Amino acid sequence: MATELYLKHTEAESPPRTALTINPAKTCQPIGAMYAALGVHRCLPHSHGSQGCCSYHRSTLTRHYKEPVMAATSSFTEGSSVFGGQSNLLQAFNTIFTLYDPQIIAVHTTCLSETIGDDLPQIIGKATLEGKIPSGRFVLHASTPSYIGSHATGFGSMVRAFVDYFAEKTGKKTETIGVFPGWVEPADMAELKRLLESMEVPYVLLPDTSGVLDGPLTGRFEMYPEGGTKLEDIRRLGDAKASVALGPYCSGPAAKLLDTKCKVPCEMLDLPIGLAATDRFIDTLRRVAGVAVSETIVKERGRLLDMMADMHQYTYGKTVALAGDPDQLCSLAEFLRDLDMKVKYVVTGTPGKAFDARLTELIGAAEEGDWRGAPGDLFALHQKLKQDPTDLLISNSYGKFIARDEGIPFVRFGFPIMDRIGHADFACVGYRGAMRIMEKILGVLMDRQDRDAPNESFELVM
């Protein structure tokens, strides 16, 4: 008789761990820096480290977005690792500007270049003096070692670098509102722009990957697609009336620097995921821009409320486990609370003490049996689910192993999602995005209900 073997990834109990991470709920800083740089028009990300590092960063983004990701690398060898990567980077500037003609090269460091102590400002200054950076072309850098932080903090560091290098205060204030969208999908950035335009808010969105990593198939290769925030718009941020930072981890550093550098007051908000967070975003725009909320947006909110009321019987009391990035988890947890779902386990791999405090503000303190790992890993989450499973798991693609082992309904959300499509093309922010999240959650819950229902309860109509 043939025996079918099932791989189980952990036992319910294991020895306590103090210095070991297993299956971290994050990726490394340079991936976030690369994604942020791709949201600037005619900007080429550059990985200052080994070729293997750059290949990993590019492949992870490519697998998530299903689009070719362009980036350059300093291609460290053994000699560079010992004596430093200055000569490699200087040669790279010359090669990149000659062959690929970007307007901006956005250099991010890796653990290797950080460990050997390469001084990026000095190297960029030397390249400028030696004429290796053509007139009208620019180089900036962000420090993003892989051994600290996560892709979320790397994203924030690179966006901050764009403000640091390019935002200019001329003394002529404008009505423009700077919007830092945080790490969201290209479709989310397009949705944010639609909401801003619906309210007639003059804005600059930094970064903006819509039109870059969700472009159409035309049969022509474009090194630099039409999308992305333009350099002249980044410069205009210095004269903005105010800025709105969506998510303290990914957008906070840039908004705070813009305030310090150019005296542009900032509003720090959660990502507009779900009803309450979107309400705060819309109301903030109304207040700081001095505009009215459009009837279109009011109707969209009403449709979301109608869906929440119609489907309340299926979400009420359901328990949920979450894993992902802190900016996204806070808003998502609040939305699940508004659906009368119970957020039981929450884990993020991004370090930071503010996350748990903000989560407590939004959904209340953890109750007996709850667990919040910040930072934590998916192995620990798996153990919790073995001991006391939830009705639903929401995480990136790596959660599928836990969901299969434990038989838990699973919704993919966050980064990276490598085994499904649509996340880059359908927004999850705003009221319309909240309806999409509800549709995904209800889909898996109702599939489980149908699978487990006896014949007499197998209903056609919800």
More confident residue, 298 or 17: 298
Overall average pLDDT of the 424-448 stretch? 97
* Number of compact structural domains in the chain: 3
pLDDT at 2: 46
Considering all CA atoms of the chain, what is the largest pairwise distance in Å, rounded to the nearest integer? 82
- Say if residue 320 is in the same domain as residue 446: yes
Among 298, 321, 337, where does a domain finish? 298
Model confidence at 7, pLDDT cuts 50, 70, 90, reads: low
88-111 residue pLDDT tens: 999 999 999 999 999 999 999 999
Overall average pLDDT of the 152-156 stretch? 98
Give φ, ψ of 269 to 5 degrees.
-125, 165
- Say if residue 319 is in the same domain as residue 221: no
Q: What is each CA distance from 260 to 58, 160, 177, 243, 251, in whole angstroms?
A: 33, 12, 16, 12, 15
Give residue 367's domain range.
311-456
Overall average pLDDT of the 33-52 stretch? 97
Among 248, 270, 298, where does a domain finish? 298
Q: Is the pLDDT of residue 312 over 90?
A: yes
In a domain, 436, yes or no: yes
- Say if residue 256 is in the same domain as residue 156: no
In a domain, 21, yes or no: no
- CATH number reported for the structural domain that contains residue 201 in this entry: 3.40.50.1980
More confident residue, 79 or 440: 440
- Say if residue 91 is in the same domain as residue 162: yes
- Say if residue 75 is in the same domain as residue 127: yes
In a domain, 201, yes or no: yes
- Say if residue 133 is in the same domain as residue 198: no
Overall average pLDDT of the 31-44 stretch? 98
- Say if residue 141 is in the same domain as residue 185: no
In a domain, 396, yes or no: yes
Structure tokens at 219: 């049969």
More confident residue, 14 or 178: 178
376-404 residue pLDDT tens: 999 999 999 999 999 999 999 999 999 99
Map 232-255 to HEC letters: HHHHHHHHCCEEEEECCCCCHHHH
125-145 residue pLDDT tens: 999 999 999 999 999 999 999
- Say if residue 221 is in the same domain as residue 250: yes
Q: Is the pLDDT of residue 277 over 80?
A: yes
141: β partners = 107
Give φ, ψ of 222 to 5 degrees.
-120, 115
More confident residue, 68 or 13: 68
Among 245, 272, 298, where does a domain finish? 298
In a domain, 6, yes or no: no
Distance CA 184, CA 63 (A): 16
In a domain, 22, yes or no: no
- Say if residue 141 is in the same domain as residue 72: yes
- Say if residue 272 is in the same domain as residue 353: no
pTM, entire model = 0.95
- Say if residue 141 is in the same domain as residue 253: no
Overall average pLDDT of the 142-162 stretch? 97
- Say if residue 339 is in the same domain as residue 286: no
Model confidence at 3, pLDDT cuts 50, 70, 90, reads: very low
In a domain, 426, yes or no: yes
In a domain, 14, yes or no: no
